[in-house]
Each structure stands twice: as C-alpha cells, then as structure tokens.
Amino acid sequence: MTRPDRQTSVRSRFVLAFMTMLALLPSIASAADANETFAQALKPLATASFQEKQQVIAAIAATRHPNARPVLSALLEGNLHTRDADQRIFIVTEGEEGLALTDPLMLQAAGSAPADEFTKITTNNQLRKALRGLIAGFDLSDPDAEVRLAAVSEMLRTLDEDGVLILRQRVAEESDSKVRSAIETGLALADLDNEDAAVRLAAAVRLEDSLSPDVYNRLKELTGRGDDGAFNEPDDQVRAAAAATVRNIDNWRSIYGGVETLFFGLSLGSVLVLAAIGLAITFGVMGVINMAHGELIMLGAYTTYVMQLLMPSHIGASVVVAIPMAFLVAGTVGILIERGVVRFLYGRPLETLLATFGVSLILQQIVRDIFTANNRPVETPAWMAGSWQINEALSITYNRLYVILFTAVVFTVLLIVLKKTTLGLKVRAVAQNRAMAKSMGVRTEWVDALTFGLGSGIAGVAGVALSQLTNVGPNLGQQYIIDSFMVVVFGGVANLWGTLIGGMSLGVINKVLEPFAGAVLAKILVLIALILFIQRRPRGLFPQKGRAAEG
C-alpha cells in the first residue's frame, strides 16, 4: 500500500469514529439527563416526612429510570439508608465489616462503612402499601408472564385510582390470557364501587366466571346487609346479579371440591396399593401372614433418607437412585426372613404370624439403635415440591401426583414380570397348584424365596413413595400394615387387579367419608363395610383360581 493510500485509510477511520461519536452524543446526553432527573427525584427522600415520602416515591417511579424499581424495593425492605455526614442515600446490606454500600444511581458497590454512621429511611403501613403498588406497576412491563401475573395480584390487594388507571392502560397491551383475565377481574372489582348502577351491574355479570376468593367475598358483601339493616347494594338488579354470581361460584367450588377429594382419595389409594401389592403376592403364593411387611416399607423409607445423606447436593437424583436401592435392601431382608424363619413354619399360620411379628419388633429396634427413635427428615426434591394450580378453586400437589404415576409404573412393571417372564410363570403355577408345579420340576422352595423377596422389594419401593408424604420413623410401617391386609382381603388374594381396585376404592371411600365423619370414624365405617362385604364374598372381589384355592 502506498503512503497516500495509508493516509486515506487513516482519515476514513477517523471520520467514521467521529461520526459514530456524533451519533452517540444525543443518547449520552439523554442518559445523563435521565440520571440527573432520577438523582433529583431521589434526593428529598432523605429528609421527607411520611406524607412527603408518598409524593417522593411517586416522583421516583414517574422517572421510569432503570434503577427506580431496585431503589423502591430497597425502601420497602428497609435497606435504604442515609449517611449522616452528607445525607447521601445508599442501598445497604449486612456485611462482615459493617454495612455493604451500593450507589442507587449506578447500582454499583460503594465500599463499606460502620452501621452507626447511617440512618434508616423508615416507612409506615400506608407508604408500604403505596410502594407495593408502584413496584407492581414496574413488573407489569416484565417479559415474564408469571412476573406480570404476580404484579397484577399484588396490585389487586391494594387497588386505588392510580392502580386502576395503570391496569386500564395495560389490558389492551397484554398478550398473555391469564394475565389479561386477572387484569379484567381487577377492573371489574373496581367497577363494583362505581356510582353508576349500570356499571356495577355489568361488572357483577362480568365476574360470573371468576373463582377468585376476592371476587366471592366482594360479591357476598354486596348481597348482605349493613349494621342499619339496609342492603349494602341498593340497586335490586345489581344485587340479584351478584347473588347469581355467588351461587355460580358456590356450585363450581363444590364440583372442584369433589375433584380434589377424588384426587386425594386416589393418592391415598396409590399408597395403599404400593403398601399392599407385595403382601398380596406373598400371601397368595405361600399363604404367609407376614406381620413384618410394614417394617420392610420402613426400610425403604430409611434407604431414601440414607441416599440423601450420601448425595446432599443432588436431592432430586437421590430419590431416583433410592428406588432400586430400596428394592434391593428390602428384597434382601425379605429373602433372609423367608430363608431364616418362614420356610420352617409353612402350614402353621399362627406360628408364622407370631414369628414375623417378632421379626418386625427386631427390625424396629435395629432401626432405633442406628437412627434413634426420632423421625428423620427426608427432603422433597424441587421437581416434586409445590402444586399445579389448575384454577383458583383447584390445585393438585405434585408429590401426590407423582405417587399416583409411580404406582401406575410399579403396577405395570410387576404385571409384566408376572405375565411375561419365567419367574412370573413359576409364581403363578405355585400359587394355583403347588403340588403339581413341584411335580413338574419347579423348585418351589426357591420360588417361595424369590417371591418373598419380590414382595418385600416392592414394599421397600413403597417406602420411598411414603417418605415424600409422611414422617420417616421406626413406627412408619405400623401405620399401613392393617390397611394393607384390608386391601388384600378386599381385592382378592394374589390378584394384582384386585389389589389395585381394592386399594383405590378404599382410598377414595376414606377421603369421601372424612369430611363428614372424621378420619377415625371413617376408618371404622370402612372396616365395618369391609366385614359385611367379606360375609357375602369371602374370597374378595377377584377370588384366587386353581385347585389350591378350591382346597
């Protein structure tokens, strides 16, 4: 490149840089002006009275400066302080050496200082109410729909004229249906206070599809009477519309309440199925009443606790890993019980019952010696915590939903094992006719051991599920052993479908009766109904088939 070419290139870069700087000057000046405006709006906050602070925070919000929301949030949380020496305002947090300072204009760290050099900018109830509304107004512009929905809910708690104006401006711009519906509900609630009866009537009609507790309480108030005996709502049409909407909400609440009861019943039934399905197999194949079955469930729950101790940083994964580990632990203990105790007592049900009851006491004491008698905390993973809010009248907890799905998976896998594998074929053969199976070369003693281990392993898996619903302690299994036998007897011995239907039925019936009779009386009524049912059908819903059953 020649020298003139180099000079031309340098001049071109210089001109380009100069033009870029000229283009940026307006935005730089605009940013400087915005910062100056924000600083001027913030300055009076240091010395203002509570009444003056109302105007100051409104002026801060009106600047729409990017740092306005963090500053207002800091004031609401009590983290806005003034330095006594120069009345300069800082956002503060507790640090190792006094207070850690943040400059509110730039949101940058400004060092640290002793706490006694600063004075907290105080708030009162009225000011905090105004702050929440202003902060919610900022959140209405957030790209996350969940943040906007939370902002609308916060504004509805303290809705005033300014809030109504903000929501009316926002409703036309809102793209998310849930957020828009929440805004429309809030505006309708505001219209119920309008002086025009026609506006109030339209609002009451518009709210007929809402299930919000705020809507219900407000409309209920309109249909009531004041201390003077007069109706709170003077217009007959508005009052009638409000009463109709209240009845509609009551009807939907009853429907969703029934759905929620059914869900709780299915979740309880799932627990009963998990607890009883292993017992149904061992009881059906070997005719053994295993009173240590509850303790095998307990071992599965403690396995979950131990896995969380071993994987403290991966709680979600620890629960998944606990499933096969609980199966192995409880299954191994089950095989040891069968080989060490039960196989010597076949044909003597009373001795078997007493022996396994003794084993249950031994297992409880071992657990007490290792883990003490105190309940052990099992943390719920993040993906199982919380609830699925279907609408404002119905929510489903994730842990119970996962237990229902988990039961379905365990039931399906066990069904495949018993129907499609060699072990399953031998188990069914021994259950239907032990003598014939033995004569065909089936080693019934090993089938008994493996069946007992399979049933025990499933009990351990049930303990994993129970650890997410209840306390883990030495007596955990005792809470479910009686219910497990009830499910087995009701559904039919050694029948998986009977266990499934029986467990779900007893769970739903329990939950349906509890609101009317209480938990204890509901169990008693279910037990009485079960006794009457067994009088008519001694072998349960799905009786066992085969010569052994007939004999």
Full pLDDT tens readout for the chain, 551 residues: 444 454 445 444 544 444 444 344 344 345 566 777 878 878 888 788 888 888 888 888 887 787 888 888 888 888 888 888 888 888 888 877 778 888 888 888 888 888 888 888 888 888 887 787 777 777 777 778 888 888 777 777 767 676 777 778 777 777 788 888 888 888 888 888 788 888 888 888 888 878 878 788 888 888 877 767 777 777 888 888 888 888 888 888 888 888 888 998 898 888 888 888 888 877 766 777 788 888 999 999 999 999 988 888 888 888 899 999 999 999 999 999 988 888 888 778 788 888 988 999 999 999 998 988 888 888 888 888 888 878 777 888 888 888 899 999 988 988 888 888 887 787 777 766 677 777 777 777 787 788 888 888 988 998 898 888 888 888 888 878 888 888 888 877 667 788 888 888 888 888 888 877 777 788 888 888 888 888 888 777 776 654 444 44
294 vs 277: CA distance, rounded Å: 12
- How would DSSP label each residue in 8-62? HHHHHHHHHHHHHHHHHHHHHHHHHHHHHHHHHHHGGGGT--HHHHHHHHHHHHH
Note the pLDDT of residue 328.
93
Asked if the 268-376+400-550 domain carries CATH number 3.30.1120, the reply is: no
Q: How far is CA 152 from the centre of its chain?
A: 22
Its pTM stands at: 0.69
- Opening angle at CA 398, ends 491 and 327, nearest 5: 55
DSSP lists the bridge partners of residue 89 as: 82
- Tokens 């003490």 correspond to 372
Q: What's the pLDDT score for residue 431?
A: 67
Those residues whose C-beta lies under 8 Å from the C-beta of residue 418, and which sit 6 or more positions away, are 424, 427, 428, 496
Closest residue by Cα to residue 489 from 508, 502, 504:
502
- The one-letter code for the residue type at 86 is D
Give me the pLDDT at residue 493, please.
67
Helical segments of 468-540, H only? 478-491, 496-517, 519-536
In terms of DSSP H, where are the helices of 233-314?
A: 236-286, 293-310
- The tokens 């870069």 sit on which residue? 13
pLDDT at 545: 57
Which contiguous run of DSSP H or E holds residue 111? strand 108-113
* Tokens matching residue 110: 């400004």
Q: Could you tell me where in the chain the CATH 1.10.3470 domains are found?
A: 268-376+400-550
For residues 517 and 524, what is the distance between their CA atoms, to the nearest angstrom?
Answer: 10
